């Protein structure tokens, strides 16, 4: 968020609102950890199951499996998700892959454990192995020729994104203008991560994110709990 979204957009945002000052802190706490009270807006990769703060979802990031042509030539291409267990993989946690209604969670022992997609990108391009990457990252003009899709029929879980913030029913002006400003960019053709590419196919539907957020905040409301 800091490097890919905020840094490219801050000049325009502060140009619109010259009386505002912004402090950006970048860190990665536990996914269910609450921010400090003095933090106005806190961006997370998924909404917490129980939070006293309000949640605004943004379009998530669609991902895929990628490796270099050299790696596939030397190690072969997996034909099924279970074949990934015999390959050199870069990632963390559990890779949950879906193909229609089918779900696969191969038991992968990662050669390199990292949740940073930038690390996965560099290692995949170098020919080290297979990594799950955001499509907007793997299909950038400067790297797309160095990567090929792996198991393209199987889709990893998207990266969800939400903003947590405190406040009564009426937002404070500084929070309101920042959230509304980001609405103009995140997940749209103007998203700075796309580098002027079109957004179609790279992000999830905002309406799905909104529903997931509501189900998370109200698990007894009749919908499936968001994961």
Lookup result for tokens 């050669």: 111
CATH number at residue 113: 3.40.190.290
What is the domain extent for residue 213?
A: 2-56+166-217
**So what's the pLDDT on residue 197?**
83
**Which residues lie below 8 Å from residue 225, measured CB to CB, with a gap of 6+?**
49, 215, 216, 219
Closest Cα partner for 63 from 226, 208, 204, 170?
Answer: 204
Whether residue 226 is contained in a domain is answered as no
Q: What is the dihedral of CA 116, 26, 41, 15, to 10 degrees?
A: -110
What is the predicted pLDDT for the residue at 227? 26
Task: Sheet containing 112-113: give its strands across.
Answer: 112-113, 89-91, 130-134, 63-67, 148-150
| DSSP element (H, E) containing 90 | strand 89-91
pLDDT (0 to 100) of residue 164: 85
pLDDT along the chain (227 residues), means of 10: 90 95 76 67 75 81 97 97 97 95 96 93 97 95 93 94 75 89 94 89 74 41 30
Quote the number of domains for the chain: 2
pLDDT at 212: 45
Q: Which conformational region is residue 111 in: left (phi greater than 0), alpha (psi within -120 to 50 degrees), or beta?
A: alpha
Element (H, E) at 98: strand 97-99
H/E element, 179 = helix 173-183
pTM score: 0.81
- 179: closest CA among 166, 192, 189? 166
Tell me, yes or no, whether 192 and 125 share the same domain: no
pLDDT of residue 39: 81
* Six-digit token string for 97: 């892959």
Strands 130-134 and 63-67: antiparallel
Whether residue 202 contacts residue 155, with contact meaning beta carbons closer than 8 Å, is answered with no
127 shares its domain with 147: yes
Tell me whether strands 130-134 and 89-91 are parallel, antiparallel or unpaired. Answer: parallel
The answer to whether residue 149 sits within a structural domain is: yes
Q: Kindly report the CA angle at 138 between 73 and 88, in degrees rounded to 5? A: 45
73 and 117 together in one domain: yes
pLDDT of residue 146: 96
Spatial contact of 85 and 107, defined as CB atoms under 8 Å apart:
yes
Listed in sequence order, the DSSP H helices in 23-116 are 69-75
Judge whether 94 lies within some domain: yes
Answer yes or no: is 225 within a domain: no
Q: Can you give the pLDDT at residue 50? A: 60
Same domain, 77 and 116: yes
């Amino acid at each position: 968020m800091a490097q890919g979204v905020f840094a490219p957009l801050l000049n325009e945002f502060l140009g619109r609102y010259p009386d505002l000052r912004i402090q950006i802190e970048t860190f990665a706490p536990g996914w269910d950890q609450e921010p400090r009270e003095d933090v106005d807006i806190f961006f997370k990769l998924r909404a917490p199951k129980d939070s006293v703060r309000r949640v605004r979802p943004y379009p998530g990031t669609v991902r895929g499996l990628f490796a270099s042509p050299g790696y596939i030539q030397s190690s072969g291409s997996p034909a099924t998700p279970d074949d990934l267990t015999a390959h050199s993989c870069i990632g963390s946690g559990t890779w949950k892959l879906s193909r229609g209604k089918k779900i696969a969670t191969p038991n992968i022992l990662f050669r390199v454990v990292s949740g940073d997609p930038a690390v996965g990108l560099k290692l995949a391009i170098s020919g080290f192995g297979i990594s799950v990457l955001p499509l907007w990252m793997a299909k950038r003009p400067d790297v797309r020729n160095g990567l090929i899709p792996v198991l393209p029929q199987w889709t990893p879980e998207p990266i969800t994104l939400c903003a947590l913030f405190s406040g009564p029913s009426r937002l404070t002006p500084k929070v309101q203008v920042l959230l509304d400003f980001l609405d103009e960019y995140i997940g749209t053709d103007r998203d700075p991560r796309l580098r002027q590419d079109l957004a179609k196919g790279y992000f999830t539907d905002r309406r799905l994110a909104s529903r997931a957020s509501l189900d998370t905040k109200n698990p007894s409301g009749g919908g499936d709990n968001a994961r």
